[in-house]
Amino acid sequence: MNGLHRSKCLNHPDREAVACCPECKIFFCRECVTEHHGKLVCKTCLTSAASSEQTTSLNAFQKIMSGTGTLFKMVLSFSILWLTVYAFGRLLLLIPDSFHSGDIWESF
The answer to whether position 33 is within a domain reads yes
**Number of folded domains that form the chain:** 1
The answer to whether position 79 is within a domain reads no
- Most confident stretch, 15-29, 54-68, 92-106: 15-29
The answer to whether position 82 is within a domain reads no
The answer to whether position 37 is within a domain reads yes
The answer to whether position 27 is within a domain reads yes
Is the predicted pLDDT of residue 106 greater than 50, yes or no? yes
Residue 57 belongs to domain spanning:
4-70
Residue 19 confidence class, pLDDT cut points 50, 70, 90: confident
- Report pLDDT digits (tens) over 86-98: 999 999 999 887 7
- Report DSSP letters for 42-103, one per residue: EHHHHHHHHHHHHHHHHHHHHHHHHHHHHHHHHHHHHHHHHHHHHHHHHHHHTS-HHHHHTH
The answer to whether position 77 is within a domain reads no
Q: Is the pTM of this model over 0.75?
A: no
pLDDT of residue 42: 87
The amino acid present at 99, given as its one-letter code, is: F
Question: Average pLDDT over the chain, rounded to whole?
Answer: 81
